[in-house]
């Protein structure tokens, strides 16, 4: 089983929607026995909370129900997860620092920014944080995350030679 962890600051906006979208894509591609995912935050601001109400409402408009409870990224995650996908550069740096403290390796080929997989190249490395924004930014985050998660899934399928049941789900 391949394990992917999506990471943002509080684990109530960006990373839970990435987890929900990615899980849906994995299921639709018939890969739920090969790929698992979760999400976490680099801060402890919202531990135990459901995703932000606006995140849940936006996801529900797209047919996703988000029930994840916020949790903090911890050292044990480094052993449990194969890939770490940060929503922005600050959280990428936090993952890399945790990895360095645990392993002595600063950066690896298993720690990514989600936007590295964005086919809509605009040189913006970060998924915007919608927490202090309006509904339009929550929708923007959803759309960015959807297209990036599709490409991430394609990348993982190619890297691990998984057989997809439903090809159109990640195209």
Residues catalogued as catalytic: 8, 14, 129
Would you state the structure tokens that stand for residue 66, as one six-digit string?
Answer: 């988000």
Kindly report the length of the chain.
Answer: 171
The SS3 call for residue 45 is: coil
CB 23 within 8 A of CB 104: no
Question: 17 exposed, middle or buried (CB, 10 Å; 0-12, 13-18, 19+)?
Answer: buried
Would you state the structure tokens that stand for residue 136, as one six-digit string?
Answer: 């339009």
For 20, phi then psi, to 5°, come to -65, -45
């Amino acid at each position: 089983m391949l394990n992917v962890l999506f990471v943002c600051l509080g684990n109530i906006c960006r990373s839970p929607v990435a987890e929900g979208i990615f899980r849906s894509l994995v299921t639709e591609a018939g890969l739920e026995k090969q790929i698992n995912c979760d999400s976490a935050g680099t801060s402890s601001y919202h531990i135990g909370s459901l995703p932000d109400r606006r995140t849940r409402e936006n996801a529900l408009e797209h047919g996703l129900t988000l029930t994840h409870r916020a949790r903090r990224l911890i050292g044990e995650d480094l052993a449990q997860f194969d890939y770490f996908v940060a929503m922005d550069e600050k959280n990428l740096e936090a993952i890399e620092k945790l990895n360095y403290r645990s392993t002595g390796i600063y950066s690896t080929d298993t720690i990514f920014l989600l936007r590295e997989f964005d086919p809509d190249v605009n040189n913006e490395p970060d998924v915007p944080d919608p927490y202090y924004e309006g509904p339009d930014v929550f929708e923007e985050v959803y759309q960015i995350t959807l297209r990036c998660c599709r490409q991430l899934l394609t990348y993982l399928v190619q890297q691990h030679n998984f057989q997809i049941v439903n090809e159109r789900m990640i195209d």
